Each structure stands twice: as C-alpha cells, then as structure tokens.
C-alpha cells in the first residue's frame, strides 16, 4: 500500500514537473516571439524612414507633416532655408492634397484628418493641412458634388486656396487647381488648362 502511494506520488510529481517545464517553454517561446515582432517592427520603421528620406532627396530636411507645413510658413524651424526645388515640390504636394480633399468631398466624406500620404513620382510624402482649410473645402466640395456649376462654391474654394497659398508664399494657379476641369465640363478652355497643369505637376513631382 505504501509502495503504491509512493509510486503515485512520484508519478504525480513527475507530471507536475513536466507540466511546469512545458509551461515555461511556452512562455519562453511567447517572449521570443514578442521580441522578434518588436525587432521586425523596428526594422520596418527604420527601412520606411530610410526610404522616405531617400525618396524626398532630403530636400525637406527630414521634416514632414505639420512640422514641414509650419516650417514652410515660417513659424517653425526658421533656421532652415528651403531650396527653390523644395518649395516648388511642396507646392505640388499641397495641390495634390487639396485635390484629394475635394475628391473625398465628392464621395461624401463629412470629416478628414489633417494628415495625408501624398504619392508622387519621387516618393511618398506625409502632407498636412490645417482643419480651418480642410473643413471648408469639404463643405464647399460637397456643394459642388450636388451642383457642379455652383459658382458661389467655386468662388469660396478659390478664396480658401488663395489664403492658404498666400500663407505659404505661393501664387494661386489660374486653373483653380483643376476644379474647372473636374466640376465644370462645359468650359473647354479651362479644361485644357487643367489638363496641362495636371500633366506638369505629375512630371515635376
């Protein structure tokens, strides 16, 4: 009887030790997996930053998004002097961002974040626009979606863009950034201008 109890106790202890060992191995594997995932994420972020830096040719001094916007305005990083190429490219990025906001307005989006990834032939750039620009653009863009010939909405959008471009030190394009091409198809002259400007933008970006 005592022998049977002893054997049972030994077997129970052995199973318990084996179970603890297996549990410990599982914990070790989970920790290794977490470290591997963290390492991969870190590596992916590093590669993304390197590619972003290479794609922008460092013309924006490693700035993107809100920091780049206010640096271009002159309110931050005033020690940085942007080249003409940088300012020309940023103007095209802003144009693409505005057109993207208007496209979202046509799709019925009620709100949008300030940031957007703008893709160009020279790589992707994180662009940023203030909400006091995006909000009115969405509203007026929605009006145009319902009535493509609403001149008041077109004028309002033009004024929003004029203020934004003036803030950045740019001259507003005469073609209203392609609005007349997109929303006023019965204006062949303006459509032709919109097509030329869009093509130029794609080449320069």
Per residue in 155-168, pLDDT (tens digit) is 999 999 999 999 99
* Packing angle, helices 84-106 and 188-204, rounded to 10: 130
| Residue 205 to residue 196: CA distance in whole angstroms | 14
What is the 8-class DSSP label of residue 112? -
| Residue 192 to residue 164: CA distance in whole angstroms | 25
Question: Is it the case that residue 181 has pLDDT exceeding 70?
Answer: no
Q: Where are the domains of the chain?
A: 1-55, 65-204
More confident residue, 187 or 96: 96
């Amino acid at each position: 009887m005592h022998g049977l109890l002893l054997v049972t106790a030994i077997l129970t202890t052995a199973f318990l030790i084996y179970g603890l060992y297996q549990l410990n191995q599982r914990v070790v594997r989970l920790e290794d997996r977490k470290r591997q995932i963290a390492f991969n994420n870190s590596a992916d972020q590093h590669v993304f930053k390197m590619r972003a830096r290479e794609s922008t040719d460092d013309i924006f001094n490693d700035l993107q998004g809100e920091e780049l916007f206010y640096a271009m305005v002159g309110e931050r990083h005033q020690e940085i002097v942007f080249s003409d190429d940088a300012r020309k490219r940023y103007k095209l990025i802003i144009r693409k961002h505005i057109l993207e906001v208007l496209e979202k307005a046509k799709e019925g989006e009620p709100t949008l974040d300030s940031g957007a990834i703008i893709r160009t032939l020279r790589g992707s750039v994180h662009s940023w626009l203030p909400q006091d620009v995006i909000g009115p653009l969405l509203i007026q863009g929605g009006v145009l979606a319902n009535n493509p010939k609403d001149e008041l909405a077109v004028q309002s959008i033009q004024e929003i863009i004029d203020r934004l471009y003036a803030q950045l030190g740019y001259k507003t394009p005469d073609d209203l950034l392609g609005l007349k091409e997109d929303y006023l198809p019965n204006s062949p002259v303006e459509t032709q201008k919109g097509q030329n400007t869009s093509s130029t933008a794609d080449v320069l970006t």
